[in-house]
Amino acid sequence: LCGQHHVFSLAGLFQDKNARPLALSGHVGFDSLPDQLVNKSTSQGFCFNILCIGKLETQTQLLQKNHTVTAGKGSNIYQHIVDYIDTQFESYLQEELKIKRSLHNYHDSRIHACLYFIAPSGHSLKSLDLVTMKKLDSKVNIIPVIAKADTISKSELHKFKIKIMSELVSNGVQIYQFPIDDETVAKINTAMNGHLPFAVVGSTEEVSIGNKMVKARQYPWGVVQVENENHCDFVKLREMLICVNMEDLREQTHTRHYELYRRCKLEEMGFRDTDPECKPVRNMIIKLQDALIELKKCERSTFKFEQLKRMHAEEKSKLEEKRRSLEEEMSVFSKRKAATELLQAIKEDKK
């Protein structure tokens, strides 16, 4: 709604005495607009893609939704992940640049949240983790997560969290901070920002606790429940991702990370809106003219090459013809020579 109000005269509607008045069957008002948006979103559905990065046994894996891509090993491992994220941005950009685009039913494969799993060493971040997160922080919303949090004590875990956040700040790594500008979620997001990085425990096994089965890890000394907030931060992570900040993650991906990628790509094409003297159409025409000049140069070079090639073929053909002529003359000469020698031999025999 743009704040414009239109007033229509209803006097003509009541001139007809036979007009039948109708009672409203329900509430009518602008406050029903959010319900309409919710109903539309739930009926059409929406995309929310999570990228998990971490070390699995001896291989570094990049997992996204229902498939796994092996990124490889080495100090430049982050490049595979960066290329993957850029590929998703490029696919969306190509769809936007189409003349007949259909973004309403386009399957958005852009990464909205990146869960970066950190090994529970209890000491500090690895240099590879810092480099990787630094390369990714301008392309995706990074949420650091400590994996296998049940392998270290609570006191060590608390110190480890403080150490991780200190190293991220000192190295200039921008992780995703839960927004606090909205009053409805400011309190819970402020509290959750203090719990970063989340320490989680994962399990696919169900253990009987009391009268119900829960996801947990069974140890000789006890049970670690996945969904028990006293044991790990899995519930906090799930609530922040799904219940509270999903739309903000989607919005940050589109308005910040994707817009940065889109701006860089358009600047490479000659489009700049920060320069008042910038004229994109003129720049494209100049680039097209330069390309045509280069094309004509290539055509001239190709023509000269073809001409030289044709001249070479003609010279070669002439030389081949001359060679065949010489071979024929040599053959005739050899025959005459043989005939002359034969006649001389006959004459000598007669004498």
Q: How many whole angstroms separate alpha carbon 263 and alpha carbon 267?
A: 6
Residue extents of the structural domains in the chain: 45-268, 277-331
Q: Which amino acid is at 163?
A: K
Residue among 79, 119, 44, 112 at smallest CA distance from 255: 112
Distances (CA, A) of 207 to 203, 211, 225, 294: 10, 10, 9, 72
Per this entry, what is the length of the chain?
351
The confidence score (pLDDT) of residue 258 equals 92
The confidence score (pLDDT) of residue 142 equals 93
The confidence score (pLDDT) of residue 208 equals 83
pLDDT digits (tens, 9 = 90+) for 303-327: 888 888 889 999 999 999 998 999 9
Q: Domain 45-268 carries which CATH code? A: 3.40.50.300
Please give the sequence-ordered ranges of beta strands (E in DSSP) within 210-307, or none if there are none: 212-219, 222-225
The confidence score (pLDDT) of residue 16 equals 59
Q: Which residues of the chain have pLDDT under 50?
A: 1-3, 5, 7-10, 13, 58-73
DSSP for 19-65, please give it: PPP---SS--SGGGHHHHHHHHHHHH-----EEEEEEETTEEEEEET
